[in-house]
């Protein structure tokens, strides 16, 4: 292996589907994400379905973000504009750092597939402590597009010129400087 080649580093990724109507048995979006991440060589750390309830969503994501065995959380569902769509409201207040670029790139990719309907999604992402969190729409197509077009590449250490994996050891620098622990 030459000095410029890098080896793949598997991450532990949890998948949360937010839905009042789905179960693990019929959750196509969560299954799409689970399949994609394991096919890429990552580990599925956990998988769950929670109803469209901000408190339950927030609790699940906080618990997973506090688990040192989980590097990344992917959520699917609840990013639209109906009264039951509360996933961004539940998760965004937990972000230590927002990832505004994710939403911008996601919408650009999505527009190529579904046109202006992309504005009906409030997809977002950020960092909770040292855990990356991606909040995706509830369609299998949107999950596939987000993973294939953005997330899969950024969670692959071999991606150049940069990726999230290479900065993971430094994500808690601000917390250590402030004397806080995770």
d(CA 142, CA 36) in angstroms, rounded, equals 13
Structural domain count, the chain: 1
Residue 86: per-residue pLDDT: 98
Taking 60 as the threshold, does the pLDDT of residue 181 lie above it?
Answer: no
Buried (b) or exposed (e) across 90-100, using 16+ Cβ within 10 A?
bbeebbeeebe
Residue 175: per-residue pLDDT: 64
- Is residue 5 assigned to a domain? no
**What is the mean pLDDT of the segment spanning 49-72?**
98
Cross-strand bridge partners of residue 171: none
- Is residue 180 assigned to a domain? no
pLDDT tens figures, 142-154 = 999 999 999 999 9
- Is residue 169 assigned to a domain? yes
Domain of residue 93: give its range. 12-174
- Is residue 3 assigned to a domain? no
The pLDDT-based confidence of 167 (bands split at 50, 70, 90) is very high
d(CA 46, CA 40) in angstroms, rounded, equals 16
* CATH, residue 151: 3.40.980.10
- Is residue 110 assigned to a domain? yes
- Is residue 1 assigned to a domain? no
- Is residue 100 assigned to a domain? yes
């Amino acid at each position: 292996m030459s000095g410029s080649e890098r080896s793949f580093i598997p991450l532990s990724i949890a998948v949360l589907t937010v839905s009042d109507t789905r179960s693990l048995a019929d959750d196509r979006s969560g299954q799409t994400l689970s399949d994609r991440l394991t096919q890429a060589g990552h580990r599925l750390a956990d998988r769950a379905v929670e109803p469209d309830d901000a408190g339950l969503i927030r609790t699940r994501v906080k618990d997973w973000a506090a688990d040192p065995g989980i590097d990344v959380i992917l959520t699917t569902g609840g990013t639209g504009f109906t009264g039951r769509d509360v996933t961004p409201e539940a998760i965004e207040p937990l972000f230590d750092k927002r990832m505004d670029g994710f939403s911008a790139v996601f919408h650009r990719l999505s527009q190529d597939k579904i046109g202006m309907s992309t504005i009906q999604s409030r997809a977002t992402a950020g960092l909770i402590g040292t855990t990356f969190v991606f909040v995706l729409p509830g369609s299998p197509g949107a999950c596939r597009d987000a993973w294939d077009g953005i997330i899969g590449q950024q969670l692959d250490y071999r991606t150049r010129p940069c990726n999230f994996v290479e900065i993971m050891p430094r994500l808690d620098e601000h917390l250590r400087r402030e004397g806080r622990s995770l």
